[in-house]
Amino acid sequence: MTTLQPHQFTCPFCGNKFESQMVASTNSFGRLHSDLYKEAEGLQPVCYFVHTCASCGYTGYEGDFQPQSFTPVFKGMLEENITPEIKKVRIGTNGNYYLAALCAEWRGAPFAVLARIYHMGAWCCRIKGEKDNERFYLEKAMFYFERALEQADAPNENKAVYTYLIGDIARRLGDAEKAKSYYGKVEQALKECGGEPGIGDFARRQLTSPSDYF
């Protein structure tokens, strides 16, 4: 069973102290989604991995709340784009993956990290049954996985899994042709770059009988 525990955070940007729920324990007894989300039994932990300071809107994973300094560019972007917006609403401290992605982008995070944040945001929306929001996040995740693949310095061992995920996200977004094309490239990526062989099995399976769950 997944259990949550309140944790006190200190915002490294504005100094505000706030409480947010953190995952204290979880499990992986649930289904495996075809885009590699492993469900837990009971409460799903994925919506509790990012935290938002309700005073300024700074958002990130637990590790992003370490004391740190921010560039003037980051400061300007947060203060102009996020803080005024969140002042208007009562914002939850958990699961704001869009704000997490913006903060990560302004801190200079690589494409692969942004892809992962948006993808987790899509899973969070899927669990909540928010289909339109899930699509928004999947489109963003696909965009950044594609950018991550194009980068010359992308780690080789991730190429096969990124290729597979672009295919599976395209399929979930209704682009069957793009999905087939990317599933079809997974084997080659594994041969050339290595990676987890199981991803090749998933790709073959999705080419012959596509499914949302394994």
Interacting residue ranges for Zn ion, rule: CB under 5 A: 11, 13-14, 16, 53, 55-56, 58
Spatial separation of the C-alpha atoms in residues 135 and 159, rounded to whole Å: 23
Q: Which residues face 32 on adjacent strands?
A: 38
Residue 180 beta carbon to Zn ion: minimum distance, rounded to whole angstroms:
45
In which residue are the tokens 């992605």 written? 101
Residue placing its CB nearer to Zn ion in the complex, 57 or 195: 57
Smallest gap from residue 159 Cβ to Zn ion (A): 37
Closest distance of CB 53 from Zn ion, Å: 3
C-alpha to C-alpha distance for 198 and 74, rounded to whole angstroms:
39
Q: Which is nearer to Zn ion, 98 or 202 (CB)?
A: 98
Between 52 and 163, CB nearer to Zn ion: 52
Q: Which is nearer to Zn ion, 53 or 122 (CB)?
A: 53
Q: Quick one: tokens of 136?
A: 């928004």
* Contacts for 47 with CB less than 8 Å, ≥ 6 apart: 94, 95, 124, 127, 128
Spatial separation of the C-alpha atoms in residues 140 and 149, rounded to whole Å:
14
Residue 59 CB, shortest distance to Zn ion, in Å, is 9
CA angle 152, 155, 156 (to 5 degrees): 90
CB of 133 to Zn ion, least distance (A): 24
Which of 93, 8, 21, 27 lies closest to 57 in space, CA to CA? 93
Nearer to Zn ion, 14 or 127 (CB): 14
Residue 8, judged by CB atoms within 10 A of its CB (0-12, 13-18, 19+), counts as exposed
- Collapsing DSSP states into helix, strand and coil, what is residue 32? strand
In whole angstroms, how close is the CB of 57 to Zn ion at the nearest point?
7
Nearer to Zn ion, 86 or 148 (CB): 86
